[in-house]
Amino acid sequence: MIRWACSLLLALVWVVNAAKPNFLIIVTDDQRPDTIGLLGNSRIDTPNLDWLIQNGITFENFICPNPLCVPSRAEILTGCSGFRNGVLGMRGEKMNPNLILWPAAMVSGGYFAWYSGKWMNDGKPITRGYNETRALFTTGGGTWKKEEKVLGRKGRAITGYRNWTFKNAEGRPELEKGIGLTSLTDKYIVDGALEFLRRKTDKPFFLHVNFTGPHDPLVYPPGYEKKYTSAKMQLPLNFLTRHPFDHGNFNGRDEKLLSWPRTKADVLDELAVYYAIIDNIDKQVGRMLNQLRSDGRLKNTYVIFTSDHGLAIGSHGLMGKQNMYEHTIRVPFIISGPNLTKGKKTKAFGYLRDMYPTVCELARIKIPETVEAKSLVPVLLDPEKNVYHASYGYFRDVQRMVQIGTWKLIFYPKINRYQLFDLSRDPFEMSDQIKVKANQTRVTRMRKSLLKWFDDQRDVAVQALK
């Protein structure tokens, strides 16, 4: 208690005396939590992300509660769960207009709010609180015909980001940068971010950068074809040729990227390009960090690196992100910046939506009353602290999850099936403990916690069981 009080007092002192900090928020797309060198992956080069880890705090239990692009990003923008913000899937749901969005809160607190990269939510960045955009990558503007079959690597049909294009500040397509994902898409996104970072401004900045990588279609960035090959890859330890049961998304687009059964050769080939794209993203992150170093602003800038969700890419026989397993629902989360402990890791739970109130508190901006997420500043001050006793996940009406301590319970409402994993002994979730007699008291307690939390969210998938 004394240590906590002293830490809080010191934090208040530097918060009052320091100039308003800048914020660089970096979000990748489909990045597994096990794809960073310093976090234990010897097969990938990520020197810039490694630097962030060495100079910041890494959350090892950071959760994307709804592992799907649009709803995940809606939670980031609103600071609310999908049950509250109105976006649970990709069927055209719009964010609740009564909620104050993250960039609007930052602008009201005296910040320039800039946006560069992929945008998938309703509206446009400039209608959702951001002051300006560069290298905006959105749907439409391309020339591919709807019925046209466009082939990518290995002669596979491209089903992701068809007809997406970069738009200039006036909203006109920049077709010279390509249609759909290309080998240079992430570079162009950082080119746009650097336009902002090279400015001299009289206000602190809030720069939100959304990469497209390592989302499919997977394309080798220039110069990476020989650095990462299937021969240098290793299959996930929980690789399967097929998931043991239909988890509710067997017919989803992601699961059709490779044929059933999955083969080792196909998965190794996908992993090689996937790693190359992440390596290139690390290079692009380095360009932004170097700009901030060169102009002296890095020392007063909080840099947050994370992803909208992970990806299976062969684990458990799946390819996509629509599942509750660790490789998908857990994401990398690193924050470095003024007065933070360097090189520290924490087991504390955190959600992507918690970035909103956390940054508000660090920026000395009042957290809007519409935000239901929690600030993680207490954890930043004391990494042994936890602001959540459990974490919860959900995908459409087919999957629900609760994790308490190191135990995880997954529930599939449509088929009334449960899985139970002890992550301390089984981090790759290969041994389902649901039928072990000694675990039944635990299962009952966790099931009660799961049902209560989702009932409180007015979740129809759970309420239908009552």
Lookup: tokens for 383: 């990494």
What is the per-residue pLDDT for 4?
42
CATH number assigned to the domain covering 397-466:
3.30.1120.10
pTM score of the predicted model: 0.94
Please tell me the least confidently modeled range out of 14-28, 52-66, 112-126, 300-314. Answer: 14-28
- Map residue 332 onto helix, strand or coil: coil
d(CA 103, CA 201): 17
pLDDT more than 90, % of the chain: 87
Q: Where are the alpha helices (DSSP H) in 117-179?
A: none
E-strand stretches of 169-320: 205-210, 301-307
d(CA 240, CA 317): 4
pLDDT digits (tens, 9 = 90+) for 240-272: 999 999 999 999 999 999 999 999 999 999 999
Per domain, the residue ranges of the chain are 2-388, 397-466
Rounded average pLDDT over 326-342: 96
Rounded average pLDDT over 174-179: 95
Closest CA to 228 of 181, 183, 266, 279: 279
17 pLDDT above the threshold of 50: no
Rounded average pLDDT over 394-411: 96
* Matching CATH number, 2-388, of 3.40.190.10, 3.30.200.20, 3.30.9.10, 3.40.720.10: 3.40.720.10
List, as one string, the DSSP characters of 383-424.
Answer: TT--S-SEEEEEETTTEEEEEETTEEEEEETTTTEEEEEETT
Phi, psi at 138, each rounded to 5°: -140, 175
396 pLDDT above the threshold of 60: yes
Using alpha carbons only, what angle is made at residue 74 by residues 187 and 421, rounded to the nearest 5 degrees? 95
Kindly give the pairing relationship between strand 301-307 and strand 22-28: parallel
